[in-house]
Structure 1
C-alpha cells in the first residue's frame, strides 16, 4: 500500500541562517495578547481541519522526519545513545515501510547531552541525521555565562550540528531585554556554524505577552529556531503558547525577511499530538514549516504511538505498545 501524497523523505539540514538584527524593543514593547482568543483559536485548530486514512498516515510519516529523538537522563550511557541513533536511522519497522511504499525515512535529529555528542556523531556518520546537543546549563541555565559558553564550544568541538540553548528566565520576568539579547547573541556566536535553538522554557515565563517578547528578542539575537520548553518544566508545550510563538515567527519574518524555525517540546506523547502541531504550522505559517529545516517535534515518546498507528493503517490491527519500543 503506497501513501498517497507521500514521497521518499530525507532530512535536509537548515541551510538558511537567521543573522539576527539589532535589539529593537519597539517591535514588541506595546504588544498585547488576548489570552481567551488565543485559547479559542488553539482549541478550534484540530476541529476545523481533520486528516483521515492515507492522508493521516502521510502526516504521521512527516512527523517522524521532523522529530528530534532525545535522551536527556541522568543515567544515559553510550549504549543507550547508540540504540537511540539506530532508531533515528530506522524509526519505522521494515514491514510497515514496505506496506507504505516508502524506501527511506529517518528522524530529524538526535538530541543528547554534550558528553554524549561524540558517541552520537560516530553512530550517525554518513546517515544525514544531525546531532543536536543541549547546552548552557540545561535545563535551568543558572550557571555563569562563561561556563555556559564553554559548554557550547565543547559540544561544537565534538561535532554537534545543532545547539539547544536555554535562556535566563529572570531576564524575561524582569523585563531586562538588553541582558537577554546580549546573552543569546554571545551564545549564537559560540555556536559558530552549528544552528542554535533557543529554549524559552515557556512554563516559567508566566504570561503569553512575556512569551511573545522573549521569542522576538531571541530571534533578534540570531536564534535559528525558537523552542517552547526543556521538557523539565511543570508545564511544557501547549497549543496556545505555540500559537503565540509562531505568530512572533511570522511577525519577525515579515519585518526582516528571515525565516526562523519552531520546535515544540515536552508533554506531547501521542500521534494525535503530532497531527495537532502540524495543523498549527500549516494553518499559521504554511507548508514550508512542515519540513525539518523549519519544524521539529521534541517528543521521543510520541514515536512509539505513531508507529503503532501506522501499523494499524497497513494491517487493520493494533499491536501491543511493547512492539514499538523507542530504543
Structure 2
C-alpha cells in the first residue's frame, strides 16, 4: 500500500470523526504470481481521461476539507536530498516536521498540534535527524540502494539499507532496478524487492518505482503489484530526480493496483 502505518495527529472533538485513522500491520507479501502479472492491463487513454476529471472535482467540502488537509500533512515525508545538505539544514527541517502548521491556524480550526509523517534524508544525515526528532514519535526515513538511479553494486545496496537501519532509520526508501521492468524480468524484480525487504528488518520499506522511466502505464501497474507481492509496505511514484515524476495518470494506475492487491490479500 502507499501508506501502512502513520503517526496521525488526534483531531479535536468537533472533527475527530472526520479523518479515517489507518493502523494496518506490515505487508507480509505473497508468492510471485506471474499469471496475475500477465493479466494486468492499463488502458492509457481511459486512465488519462479519468485523471483529467479529477482536478475539477470537490468531493470534500467545508469542515471535512480542513480535516482532510490536516490529515494530508500528517502523511507527508518532509524531505531534503541535496548534495549541500548540512546538519543545520536537517535540524531546521526536523523543527518544521514537529510543527508544520502554525499554532494559531490550528487553534482557529479547532485542531491540536500535528506533525508530518516522517523526515526523509540521505544516510549521512540519519543520525542527525534521529537526534533532532528524539521523543517526537516522528520516524526518520532514509533513501537507500543507490538512490536515485539504483545502479550501484547489489551487495552495496543491501549494505546501505542495513547501515541506515542501524543508524536509526525507521523507514527505508529503496529504488527498484528499472531494467527489470523494461525487460520484463519480473522474477528478478521480485527477488530484488524481497532481499531489500529482508534487509530492512523491522523498518518499513518503501518501493520507489521511478515511474517516469518505466515506459508505459502497464509497466507501472505490473511493477506496483510485484513490489507489493514482495512485501513493500509503501509504493511511491518517483525519486523526484527523473525528468517526469508523479502524474495523475500514474497515481491512478498505482491506486488501482493497490486496490487489486487489497482485494486479493486483505492488505
TM superposition score normalised by structure 1 = 0.74
CA shift for structure 1 position 91:
0.6
1:19 counterpart SS class: coil
Q: In the alignment, what sits opposite 1:39?
A: 48
* CA distance in 2: counterparts of 1:197 and 1:99, whole angstroms: 35
Q: In the alignment, what sits opposite 2:66?
A: 57
1:153 counterpart SS class: helix
Contact between 1:9 and 1:104, CA under 8 Å: does it hold in 2? no
Note if 1:83 corresponds to 2:88.
no
* CA distance in 2: counterparts of 1:135 and 1:13, whole angstroms: 26
Aligned positions of 1:118-157 closer than 5 A: 118-157=127-166
CA distance 1:255–1:55, change in 2 (3 Å): closer
Q: In the alignment, what sits opposite 1:174?
A: 183
Contact between 1:212 and 1:244, CA under 8 Å: does it hold in 2? yes
CA distance 1:154–1:234, change in 2 (3 Å): same
CA shift for structure 1 position 41:
1.1
Corresponding pairs, count: 256
1:234-278 deviation line (CA, Å, top 9, x unaligned)? 1111111011111111111111122xxxxxxxxxxxxxxxxxxxx
1:104-124 deviation line (CA, Å, top 9, x unaligned)? 211010000011111111111
CA shift for structure 1 position 8:
10
Aligned counterpart in structure 2 of residue 165 of structure 1, from 169, 174, 177: 174
Q: In the alignment, what sits opposite 1:268?
A: none
CA distance 1:255–1:8, change in 2 (3 Å): closer
* CA distance in 2: counterparts of 1:177 and 1:132, whole angstroms: 27
Note if 1:213 corresponds to 2:217.
no
Contact between 2:150 and 2:176, CA under 8 Å: does it hold in 1? yes
Structure 2 gaps of 5+ residues are 1-10
Contact between 2:18 and 2:64, CA under 8 Å: does it hold in 1? no
Q: In the alignment, what sits opposite 1:187?
A: 196
Aligned positions of 1:5-44 closer than 5 A: 6-7=15-16, 16-44=25-53
* CA distance in 2: counterparts of 1:197 and 1:95, whole angstroms: 34
Contact between 1:3 and 1:100, CA under 8 Å: does it hold in 2? no
CA shift for structure 1 position 14:
5.6
1:232 counterpart SS class: coil
1:197 counterpart SS class: strand
CA shift for structure 1 position 135:
0.2
CA shift for structure 1 position 160:
0.5
RMSD (Å), alpha carbons: 2.1
Q: In the alignment, what sits opposite 2:4?
A: none
1:287-310 deviation line (CA, Å, top 9, x unaligned)? xxxxxxxxxxxxxxxxxxxxxxxx
2:56 counterpart SS class: helix
CA shift for structure 1 position 58:
2.3
Aligned counterpart in structure 2 of residue 99 of structure 1, from 86, 101, 108: 108
* CA distance in 1: counterparts of 2:259 and 2:172, whole angstroms: 23
CA shift for structure 1 position 45:
2.4
* CA distance in 2: counterparts of 1:173 and 1:184, whole angstroms: 16
TM superposition score normalised by structure 2 = 0.90
CA distance 1:172–1:5, change in 2 (3 Å): farther
Note if 1:239 corresponds to 2:248.
yes
CA shift for structure 1 position 3:
8.4
1:226 counterpart SS class: strand
